[in-house]
Structure formats: C-alpha cells, structure tokens
Amino acid sequence: MKLSISNALFAVLLLGMIGTGGELLLLRHTEDLRQWIPLILLGAGLVVLMWYALDSSARSVRVLRTILIGYILSGLAGVYFHYQGSAEFKLESNPRLAGWALFREAIGAKAPPLLAPGVMVQLGLLGLVYIQLHAAVGRRFDKGEKHA
C-alpha cells in the first residue's frame, strides 16, 4: 500500500489530536471552562474528522473547517491566558516587576508553558492544509488523473 501525502497528513493530524487531548487530560487541564475549550474542540474535531474521512461532503468540510478555525483561535487565546497566568504568578513573587522585565520573566516561566497552546494553532493549520489537499486529490480523481 502506497502512502499518499493526503493520508500522511490525515495520520499526523489524527495522532496530534489524540496526543494533545491525552496530554491535556493527563495534566488535568480541566480547572475552569477556559481549560475545557481545547478538550471539547479536540473531541469534536476527532468525531468530525472521522465523519469527513467517511463522507467528504460539503457539509462535513464546512463543519471540520469551522472546528479547525476554532483550534487556531483557542490556541491564540491559550497563549494569551498562559502569559496572563505567568505574569500574575511572577507579580505575586516580585510585585516590583513591570514592563519589559515582567514580560521577560513571564515568557521565560516554565509553568504554565507560554507556547504550549500553539500546538492547537499547528493542528488547526495542518487540518486546513489536509482539507485543501484532500479536495485537490479528489478533483484529480474525478477528472481521471492518476494518483501518485
């Protein structure tokens, strides 16, 4: 069986979604509603990705694309919330921090990891690329072209 780029992207996206969701659960990323948002999106994304894999209808594409955009937005919001949490913690330990010094301290903090939510952005972008490529491959098949 020859592995196509589209199938490889699907596998990486699927593993990324499962792995990220598993990690968030293991880290107990469930303290408040904001922390549940990526878990809910990942769960919904898994269901809709399977639906799309079985039936690449226009409706499944729209729903999957909407969820993937949600991944990107939640990742960006997560970076902001992680920064905010780090800055608050740094201010508790050193109330004199401000401006650039506070920013440097907050972005260098180990917990919460500032860029960890970026994985949601990556998964969202990867998923959008997968949809585009999968659609392009489907159009080639419809025209009778050979699939590499």
Question: How is 20-45 classified by DSSP, letter by letter?
Answer: HHHHHHHTT--SSHHHHHHHHHHHHH
Work out the pLDDT band at 28, boundaries 50, 70, 90: very high
Residues 6+ apart with CB under 8 A from 127: 13, 45, 49, 64, 68, 71
In this structure, is residue 18 part of a structural domain? yes
Number of domains in the chain: 1
What's the mean pLDDT when you consider all of the chain?
91
**Is the peptide bond preceding residue 117 cis, with omega within 30 degrees of 0?**
no
Q: Is residue 148 one of the residues assigned to a domain?
A: no
Least confident of 38-47, 66-75, 94-103, 108-117: 108-117
pLDDT at position 139 over 60: no
- pLDDT at residue 104 greater than cutoff 80: yes
Return d(Cα 25, Cα 139) in angstroms, integer.
39
The reply to whether 146 falls in a domain is no
In a domain, 133, yes or no: yes
Answer yes or no: is 14 within a domain: yes
Residue 53 lies in a domain: yes
Residue 92 lies in a domain: yes
Whether residue 147 lies inside any domain: the answer is no
Q: For residue 67, give its domain range.
A: 5-141
Secondary structure letter of residue 56 according to DSSP: -
